[in-house]
A and B are shown apart, each in its own frame.
Chain A
Amino acid sequence: MSKKSSSENSDRFEYLQTLVTEFQDTDSEEAKEQVLANLANFAYDPNNLDYLRELQVIDLFLDMLTEENENFVEFGMGGLCNLSMDPECRDLILQNSGISLVTNCLSSHREETVLSAITILMNLLTPSSRSEITDPAITQCMLRFSLSESPRLRNLASVFLQDCCSEEQVNRAEQQMQGQQSAVGIPLPKD
């Protein structure tokens, strides 16, 4: 038993390393997208998290969030969404100023990217990060999302408001919404 798993483990690590190397070496956008999607899907399995941390895939995903290519952003966010479930990865994301990078993605046109952003923010919630994550601008954004046409967005934003924010915070954000609004979460104009 232990024999099989140990050799499988080293194989898996080598394979992931090959993926990261290809991602760094290739000039083809298409190949990059495929590899990125691959890595993001590997991040779904908690058994791979040690390897992905070792290969600094978290930084790789975070780098993708400021890319022009929307697929890069979506897949990077998907990967972070999968990784951030793990407390150790969560702390690494927090250390690398993940909150502001992820918050920026709330303004994406793509629903999957926005959904990932909400889930990541919920995963990043710790006693020390709470104030930054429940910032009035973000809370307002979640309030708007909770009125969205899309049931998935609506549900997820509702969970955020109910589980992460205090009632007082939500009320304050509602009041503020009557007056001036924050721009967080409003899709940027397409060019």
Chain B
Amino acid sequence: MAAPVNNKPGCWGVPEVYKHHEQKKVCFSRPKYREGRKAKAVKVYTINLESRYLMVQGVPAIGVMTELIQLCALYGVVEEYRPLDEYPAEEFTEVYLVKFQRLTSARAAKRHMDEKSFYGGVLHVCYVPEYETVEDTRLKLQDRRRYVVRTVHNKAREKQQKSASEQPTSLDTATTSETVTTRQDQTSHNDETGETPNMCQYSGFPLLPLPPQEHYNYGHMNYSGATPTEDKMGTLHNAIIDTKQQQPRQSTSSSQAPSDRDPGQRLTSNQSSAVRFVPRTTHLENRKRKMEDMVENSQTDEAIKNKAFIGPKLPQPPKADMEDESLNTSVSLIRNTMKQVGAVPDLKPVEKKVKPRRRI
């Protein structure tokens, strides 16, 4: 424990050059899926490498220490700093030691300042844990352990709450609809059909018609089942209204508006049928067979589905239930697209100025 006499144990002793100060060679041989945004070396970060002490190399020797420390202070409280005159530096540059109050500040500063240009030089920022005292090291480890335990604990509690709310499926409709919609999302994220309706719902631009071959594929069902029909006034107004009505249903996935319990329950009922696997062709045949019944029952069906709707209703095109979530999604996608395509001439861009959502 007793340090050698010639080796000053204090943190402001004569600096030494350590290997981990050097910038490691960037690795270029990674396959695409492992490539990050920034070119990086193959290196493992542990708490031992991190420190609230940073060394900043490559600072132009033009008297910009104040500016450098001001820049550092953007990321957290700087406790101490000093130039490391003894440290080997490139010509016309200086090296500084900066001690932050907190490790997280040092981490942020390193991330934002490393390899950034500063008064004509390019900074190289690295952790310098060798300037730590024994107490610094101890506290660093304790903080880290505490942080990990806290995070894991919070996560476990979150999970518990989630599973607790998932259990009483039949009792609490409000929570079930919520959990189901989230689960629904996971599945819809995987197939393209789930993604696309969002796109056409949120883009403020009129959609281009689908390529001809897709028209052909779905054309039959679409025209017979749900063509936007002119009302008595000779307009396609109802088609626009319909898309608006559907919007909340589609957006439950993202916003989960508490008032939209109806769609949630609808999804629940479909969930059970989605479990068993039925070949798509069988579905298509079943659908054909049921088509006529559907047209007849459609009016009553609509009334059940849109219970929350109060007031006079405009006649709506019948909707076919495919009894399968994936098929239903495809159908509603096609239906919506067709309506929008049909509605393009009527559509005023001002009317539908929904800000396109950015997917990050």
Q: Is the CB of B152 within 8 A of A88?
A: yes
From B1, B34, B131, B145, give the contact of A38 (CB < 8 A).
B34
Q: Is the CB of A81 within 8 A of B46?
A: yes
Q: Is the CB of A119 within 8 A of B149?
A: no
Complex interface: chain A residues within 8 A of B145 (CB): 85, 123
Q: Is the CB of B44 within 8 A of A115?
A: no
B248-272 interface code vs A (CB 8 A; 1 in, 0 out):
0000011010000000000000000
A113-147 interface code vs B (CB 8 A; 1 in, 0 out):
00110010011000000000000000000010011
Complex interface: chain B residues within 8 A of A81 (CB): 46-48
Complex interface: chain B residues within 8 A of A150 (CB): 130
Q: Does B283 contact A (CB under 8 A)?
A: no
Q: Is the CB of B141 within 8 A of A122?
A: yes
CB-based nearest B residue for A50: B155
CA distance A3 to B155 in the complex (A): 16
Shortest distance between the CB of A45 and any CB in chain B (Å):
9
Q: Is the CB of B185 within 8 A of A119?
A: no
Q: Is the CB of B44 within 8 A of A74?
A: yes
Q: Is the CB of B44 within 8 A of A37?
A: yes
From B7, B44, B155, give the contact of A47 (CB < 8 A).
B155
Q: Is the CB of B46 within 8 A of A44?
A: yes
Known: A30-B29, A155-B132, A159-B141. A47 touches B151 (CB 8 A): yes
CB-based nearest A residue for B13: A151
From B133, B138, B148, give the contact of A85 (CB < 8 A).
B148
Q: Is the CB of B148 within 8 A of A86?
A: yes
Q: Does B42 contact A (CB under 8 A)?
A: yes
Known: A18-B33, A156-B48. A3 touches B149 (CB 8 A): no
CA distance A112 to B282 in the complex (A): 62
Known: A38-B34, A85-B145, A147-B3. A75 touches B44 (CB 8 A): yes
Q: Does A41 contact B (CB under 8 A)?
A: yes
Main secondary structure of the interface of A (DSSP, over half): helix
Q: Does A98 contact B (CB under 8 A)?
A: no
Q: Is the CB of A86 within 8 A of B1?
A: no
Complex interface: chain B residues within 8 A of A159 (CB): 134, 137-138, 141
CB-based nearest A residue for B19: A111
Complex interface: chain B residues within 8 A of A158 (CB): 1, 134, 137
CB-CB contacts below 8 Å: B178-194 with A: 181-182, 185-186, 189
From A41, A85, A143, give the contact of B44 (CB < 8 A).
A41
B107-142 interface code vs A (CB 8 A; 1 in, 0 out):
000000000000000000000011111101110010
CA distance A40 to B136 in the complex (A): 24
CA distance A40 to B43 in the complex (A): 9
Shortest distance between the CB of A64 and any CB in chain B (Å):
11
CB-CB contacts below 8 Å: B44-94 with A: 44-49
Shortest distance between the CB of B254 and any CB in chain A (Å):
6
Q: Does B30 contact A (CB under 8 A)?
A: yes
Q: Does A46 contact B (CB under 8 A)?
A: yes
From B29, B31, B44, give the contact of A40 (CB < 8 A).
B44
Q: Does A185 contact B (CB under 8 A)?
A: no
CB-based nearest B residue for A81: B46
Q: Does A169 contact B (CB under 8 A)?
A: no
Complex interface: chain A residues within 8 A of B138 (CB): 159, 162-163
Q: Does B2 contact A (CB under 8 A)?
A: yes
Q: List 21 A-B residue pairs with CB atoms under 8 Å apart, sorted by A's residue number.
A: A6-B182, A37-B43, A40-B44, A41-B44, A46-B148, A78-B46, A86-B148, A86-B152, A87-B149, A87-B152, A112-B48, A115-B46, A116-B48, A119-B141, A122-B141, A143-B1, A149-B7, A152-B137, A155-B134, A156-B137, A161-B1
Closest 6 CB pairs of A and B: A78-B44, A85-B148, A46-B151, A151-B130, A40-B44, A155-B137
Interface, chain B (partner A; CB < 8 A) = 1-4, 7, 9, 19-20, 27, 29-31, 33-34, 42-49, 129-134, 136-138, 141, 144-145, 147-149, 151-152, 155, 181-182, 185-186, 189, 253-254, 256
